Amino acid sequence: MLFRQLYDQETSTYTYLLADEDSKEAVIIDSVLEQVERDQKLIKELQLNLKYILETHVHADHITGATELKKSFPNAKTIVHSKGGVECADIHSTDGMEIKFGKYYLKVLSTPGHTNGCVSYYTEGMVFTGDALLIRGCGRTDFQQGDPSKLYDSITQKIFTLPDNTLVYPGHDYKGFTCSSVWEEKKYNPRLANKTKDEFILIMNNLNLPYPKKIQESVPANLKCGNIKLSDA
Amino acid sequence: MLFRQLYDQETSTYTYLLADEDSKEAVIIDSVLEQVERDQKLIKELQLNLKYILETHVHADHITGATELKKSFPNAKTIVHSKGGVECADIHSTDGMEIKFGKYYLKVLSTPGHTNGCVSYYTEGMVFTGDALLIRGCGRTDFQQGDPSKLYDSITQKIFTLPDNTLVYPGHDYKGFTCSSVWEEKKYNPRLANKTKDEFILIMNNLNLPYPKKIQESVPANLKCGNIKLSDA
C-alpha cells in the first residue's frame, strides 16, 4: 500500500494519504485547509485517483480541507460519521462500515468520547485513531459532547482489542512521535494503562486545559465540510 | 522491523529508531540533544538494546544526542563517517560498510556534497539520506566543505540508482512531509529532475540562504560527539 503521513506544524495535525498502487485509488484522512495545496500537488504527482475524503471527527483546532480538495478532485466523496452532524457530507458512515479503495479497505470503528461522532479507521496493521487515542495520551473530553466514560469504553473495547502489533496513527502529536502501537499504548499510556474507568474519568475531569484557540471558527466551518463561505453566512 | 520516525519541531529534524523485534538490537540515526529524554524513555519502553548511535553527518543546525544517549546505554557505539572529522566516535565508517543489528543491516553509502563526510544509510526498502537528499530538495552546499558537484554525483549515482520504490527518509523536512521515494525524487525534485550537473551547480550557487542560526555552537559540539562540556573547553 502507498502510505504517506503528512504534518501541519501550526496545529500539530497529522493527515494520512493511503492508496492502492495498482488501481491508484486513494483516500485521505483529516486534511487541513492550509495544507490543501501541498496535498493536491502530492496526490497529482503520485498519479492517484482520490476516491474518499475522510474525517475522524468534527475538529475544533483546524478547518478541514475537504471542500477545497473537492475542487481538484470532484469525484471524491466526503465521509463523516452519521453522528457528526455534518449534513453536507456525501456519505454518513456507521460502525463497521468498510470503505474500499482498490484492493484495500478501511473499517469504520465508532469511537465516541472526544466528540460523539468520533471514529477510528482500521486496516490490517494500522489504525487511525483521530483524537480518540493519542500517543501516551487521548483527546480531551470537556467540550463538543465530550464524555470520558464513552471515551474509556471506545479505547479499551474498540482500539485496545485490536492486535497488539497494530500501529497507532493519531490525529495529533505534540512531542514529535509519529506512531505507536496498540501494545505500547495498553502498556504505557499514562491515562489508560492499569486504570479503571473511574480513575480515567477523574484524570480527564481534572486536566484544566485552555480553551482551543480556533474552536470558534473551526467547528462551524467543519460542520459545513470546510466550506468557509457557507460557515461565514 | 520495528521502525519509529521521531521529529524535533524546533529544528525540523527527523530522528530514526530501527530495531529487530526478535533480538531487540536497535540503532538510532541523527538523535537531537533536546529530545534525548524522550528517546531514552521510548527505547527503554520498547525494551530495546541500543547497539549503535549513527550520524549521517556533522550537523550545523542541532547538537547530536550521542553523548547523552550513551549515559543511558553505555554499550552503544557511536558511528560517524571517517571523513566527518569526529575523532571521538567509537567507529569510523567507510563506504559500503554494513552495520548489523539483529537480522537487519544498514549499508553505509558515502554521499558527500552537503558536507564531506555525509553518508546515507540503506536497507531494503528504505534509505536515510540525512541532508544529502531532502524531499523535493537537498542539503545546501555553501559551508562545511559543501560542494554541489560532489552532491550531484552522490544523489544521482548513489541514491537515484537504488530501486525506485525505496522510501526516502530525510534528515529534515520543513513542509510536513515525512517520507518520499526514489521514484518521486527522480521525477519531481525541482533541483534534480532532468537537470544536468551544470544546471544543478547554478541552482545551488544561487540559493542565497541565511546563515544557520545554531552553526557556531552545533558544529564544535558535534565534532565532540555532542559532549557540550568538551566543546565549551
pLDDT tens by residue, B29-52: 999 999 999 999 999 999 999 999
In tens, the pLDDT along A142-179 reads 988 999 999 999 999 999 999 999 999 999 999 999 99
A157-188: buried (b, 16+ CB within 10 Å) or exposed (e) per residue?
A: ebbbebeeebbbbbbbbeebbbbbbbebbbeb
Task: Say yes or no: B8 contacts chain A, CB-CB below 8 A.
Answer: yes
Are B179 and A45 inside 8 Å of each other by CB? no
Indicate whether A45 pLDDT > 70: yes
Model confidence at A232: pLDDT above 90:
no
How big is the A-B interface in CB pairs under 8 Å? 45
pLDDT of residue B233: 43
Nearest to B5 among A9, A45, A178 (CB): A178
Grid coordinates representing A228 are 468557509
The rounded mean pLDDT for chain A is 96
Tell me the CB-side half-sphere exposure of residue A233, using CA atoms within 13 A: 6
The Cβ-side half-sphere exposure at B9, using a 13 Å CA radius, reads 13
Q: What is the pLDDT of residue A228?
A: 85
In this complex, do A178 and B176 lie within 8 Å of one another by their Cβ atoms? Answer: no
Residue B19 above 70 pLDDT? yes
Angle, CA of B42, B48 and B53, to the nearest 5°:
80
Q: Which residues of chain B does A1 touch, with a Cβ-Cβ cutoff of 8 Å?
A: none
* Lowest model confidence (mean pLDDT) among B129-133, B204-208, B226-230: B226-230
pLDDT tens digits for A90-120? Answer: 999 999 999 999 999 999 999 999 999 999 9
Please return the burial class of B135, using the count of CB atoms within 10 Å of its CB with bins 0-12, 13-18 and 19+.
buried
d(CA B26, CA B40): 12
State the pLDDT confidence band at B227, using cuts at 50, 70 and 90: very high
How confident is the model over B141-159, as a mean pLDDT? 96
Given CB atoms, is B175 within the 8 Å cutoff of chain A? yes
- Please state whether the predicted TM-score (pTM) of the whole model is above 0.90: yes
Quick check: B177 contacting A, CB < 8 Å? yes
Residues of chain B with C-beta less than 8 angstroms from the C-beta of A176: 6-9, 35, 38
Q: How far is B145 from chain A (nearest CA, A)?
A: 31
| B5 interfacial to chain A (CB closer than 8 Å) | yes
Residues B186 and B156: their CA atoms lie apart, in Å, by 8
Say yes or no for a CB contact (<8 Å) between B9 and A5.
Answer: no
Strand runs labelled E in chain B: 2-8, 13-19, 25-29, 49-54, 77-81, 91-93, 98-101, 104-110, 119-123, 126-130, 133-134, 137-138, 167-170, 180-181
**Predicted confidence (pLDDT) at residue A233 exceeds the cutoff of 60:** no
- The closest alpha carbon to A154, from A166, A142, A170, A138, belongs to A138
Nearest to A7 among B6, B42, B176 (CB): B176
How many residues can be counted in chain B? 233
pLDDT digits (tens, 9 = 90+) for B49-88: 999 999 999 999 999 999 999 999 999 999 999 999 999 9
**CB contact set of B86 (below 8 Å; sequence gap of 6+):** B55, B58, B78, B80, B92, B117, B222, B223, B224, B225
What's the whole-number mean pLDDT along residues B126-148? Answer: 96
The verdict on a CB contact (< 8 Å) between B38 and A176 is yes
Quote the CATH superfamily of domain B2-232: Ribonuclease Z/Hydroxyacylglutathione hydrolase-like (3.60.15.10)
Per-residue pLDDT, averaged over A206-224, amounts to 92
Q: What is the pLDDT of residue B47?
A: 98
